[in-house]
């Protein structure tokens, strides 16, 4: 489960397929506020699209999904997330993709064919900053001031 809190709203989202019921409750909370919601799994974004289509939706993705957090996903599920195969259903407004996994076909298509902004995460070095500048519209960074 991931949680985000702002001064005027508290949001929780479940990152697996069981996200739909809790998300309905949370939409009631966030519907009274203007915030952006991003998820690391397509299911909450797909549900959010149906429940609150006016909200800005984004997807956080990477190419490998090797972290232990993703061990329950099948290879097919990981490929679907990595190559943004859910995009027809989720229709994210932006993509945030792991900087060291670029270039990759899914983000390239989202950016260059469908005009979706592409952010990179997490940029920490000069080499990653140069890659982000070449491959994306914006970077999510830490450890330095651009």
Per-residue pLDDT of the chain (146 residues; tens, 9 = 90+): 344 433 333 334 434 444 444 555 555 555 554 444 444 457 778 888 888 888 888 888 999 999 888 888 889 889 999 999 999 999 999 999 999 999 999 999 999 999 999 999 999 999 999 999 999 999 999 998 88
Domain annotation covers residue 117: yes
Q: Considering only CA atoms, which of 65, 37, 72, 67 is closest in space to residue 51?
A: 37
Question: What domain count does the chain have?
Answer: 1
List the helix and strand counts (H, then E) for the chain: 6, 7
Model pTM score:
0.74
Domain annotation covers residue 63: yes
Q: How does DSSP classify residue 17?
A: G
Range of the domain at 69: 2-141
Distance in angstroms (rounded) separating the CA atoms of residues 2 and 97 = 18
CATH number, domain containing residue 62 = 3.20.20.190
> Could you tell me how far CA 26 lies from the centroid of its own chain?
18
Q: What angle do CA 122, 123, 127 make, to 5 degrees?
A: 145
Domain annotation covers residue 146: no
Domain annotation covers residue 20: yes
Query: What pLDDT score does 72 carry?
Result: 86
Query: What pLDDT score does 87 carry?
Result: 93
Domain annotation covers residue 88: yes
């Amino acid at each position: 489960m991931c949680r985000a809190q702002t001064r005027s709203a508290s949001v929780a989202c479940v990152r697996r397929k069981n996200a739909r019921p809790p998300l309905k409750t949370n939409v009631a909370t966030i519907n009274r506020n203007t915030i952006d919601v991003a998820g690391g799994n397509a299911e909450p974004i797909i549900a959010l699209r149906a429940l609150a289509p006016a909200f800005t939706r984004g997807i956080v993705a990477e190419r490998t999904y090797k972290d232990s957090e993703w061990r329950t996903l099948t290879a097919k599920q990981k490929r679907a997330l990595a190559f943004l195969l859910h995009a027809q259903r989720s229709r994210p407004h932006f993509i945030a993709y792991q900087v060291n996994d670029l270039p990759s076909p899914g983000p390239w298509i989202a950016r260059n064919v469908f005009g979706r902004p592409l952010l990179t995460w997490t940029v920490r070095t000069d080499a990653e900053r140069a890659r982000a500048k070449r491959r994306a519209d914006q970077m999510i960074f830490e450890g330095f001031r651009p």
